[in-house]
């Protein structure tokens, strides 16, 4: 059975490429999704990708993933540090979720060192730019037993 994975991008990540490129890199979100799609095809995995800057839309996507996905790779953006509602959404469903960040959040401002999402995730990858997503996808697939 082919695994199915939701790639979930949170607030402001639609601006990648133009947004603070020194911090987040020059790769656009569309290009990240394209590279992940290519990797998924090589691995025989089905990916669906969704971005929203609204926590409600992200919560809905997490709830809906329960009906079709085997796991989630989630970059919650700044909601990482504040959103108990997103944390509860992940806790409410029974899908392994990997927290992912482009930047090394532990090497930045103090408020970014705290993730309210991490305790309900299976693990976290941060600091490798767009490649953090590929590492997260492979980590999730390893966990799901397909690699």
Cβ nearer to ligand DQA, comparing 88 with 106: 106
Asked if 101 is an active-site residue, the reply is yes
CA distances 30 to 33, 105, 118, Å, are 5, 23, 26
Site string for ligand DQA, 70-89 (x = CB under 6 A): -----x-xx-x---------
Give least dist CB 110 to ligand DQA, A: 11
Asked if 63 is an active-site residue, the reply is no
Site string for ligand DQA, 37-56 (x = CB under 6 A): --------------------
Give least dist CB 17 to ligand DQA, A: 13
Q: Which of 5, 47, 58, 105 binds ligand DQA (CB under 6 A)?
A: 105
Please state, in angstroms and rounded to a whole number, the distance separating the CA atoms of residues 68 and 47.
11
DSSP structural state of residue 52: -
Q: Please report whether residue 112 would count as binding ligand DQA according to CB under 6 A.
A: yes
Helix (H, G, I), strand (E, B) or coil at 91: helix
Q: Please report whether residue 102 would count as binding ligand DQA according to CB under 6 A.
A: yes
Which residue among 24, 79, 81, 133 is the active-site one?
24
Instruction: Give me the long-range contacts of 18-24 (CB less than 8 A, separation at least 24).
Output: 23/102, 23/103, 24/102, 24/103, 24/129
Burial of 62 (0-12, 13-18, 19+ CB in 10 A): buried
Helix (H, G, I), strand (E, B) or coil at 63: helix
Which amino acids are annotated catalytic?
24, 101
């Amino acid at each position: 059975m082919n695994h199915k994975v939701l790639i979930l991008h949170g607030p402001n990540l639609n601006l990648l490429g133009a947004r603070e490129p020194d911090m987040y890199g020059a790769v656009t979100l569309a290009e990240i999704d394209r590279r992940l799609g290519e990797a998924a095809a090589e691995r025989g995995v089905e990916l669906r990708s969704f971005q929203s800057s609204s926590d409600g839309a992200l919560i809905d996507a997490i709830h809906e993933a329960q009906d079709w996905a085997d796991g989630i790779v989630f970059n919650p953006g700044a909601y990482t540090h504040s959103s108990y509602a997103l944390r509860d959404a992940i806790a409410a469903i029974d899908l392994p979720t990997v927290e992912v960040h482009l930047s090394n959040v532990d090497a930045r401002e103090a408020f970014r060192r705290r993730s309210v999402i991490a305790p309900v995730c299976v693990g976290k990858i941060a600091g490798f730019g767009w490649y953090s997503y590929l590492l997260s996808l492979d980590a999730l697939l390893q966990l799901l037993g397909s690699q």
